[in-house]
Amino acid sequence: MDAAVFSLEMKVRDYECDMQGIVNNAVYQNYLEWARHEYLLSRGLSFAELTGQGVIIVITRAELDYRLSLQAGDSFEVTVKASHPSRVRLVFEQEIRRQPTAELMLEARITATAVNQRKRPYFPDELKALL
């Protein structure tokens, strides 16, 4: 990913690990979502305010490729890069890398869209700030 990508530093908390001592697979989706919400805020958009305005963003597909496992106490960086590959889709390319080594832990491609009051997909003007 290039230098213009949004990034967020985080740290693994003990309770996010399973009995094997590694981060539970489902927790990675929380990390990815938190980074996407912070990315929106960095672009002047609030997920809660968008929802209040009737801009409902939904995930339609989540592709996660697990490479290595994070463990309790690990510091890591989550990156976000948005693209608009079709008329109604928004795609977030994301990575999680352990710090300070930058080892790739996970790659993700999260596809989203907004739905209108009739539950039909569309791309609202407000989301153009992400591109």
- Calpha distance 118→109 (Å, rounded): 27
pLDDT tens-digit profile of 33-87? 999 999 999 999 998 999 999 899 999 999 999 999 999 999 999 999 999 999 9
- Is the CB of residue 76 less than 8 Å from the CB of residue 8? no
Q: 108 forms bridges with which residues in the sheet?
A: 64, 94
pLDDT tens-digit profile of 16-25? 999 999 999 9
Task: Write the CB contacts of 47 (distance below 8 Å, at least 6 apart in sequence).
Answer: 37, 40, 57
pLDDT tens-digit profile of 86-96? 999 999 999 99
Peptide bond before residue 100 is cis, with ω within 30 degrees of 0: yes
Question: Is residue 18 among the annotated active site residues?
Answer: yes
User: Tell me, what's the pLDDT at 3?
Assistant: 40
All structural domains of the chain: 6-130 (3.10.129.10)
Catalytic member of 2, 18, 65, 125: 18
112, 118, 111: which is closest to 54 by C-alpha? Answer: 118
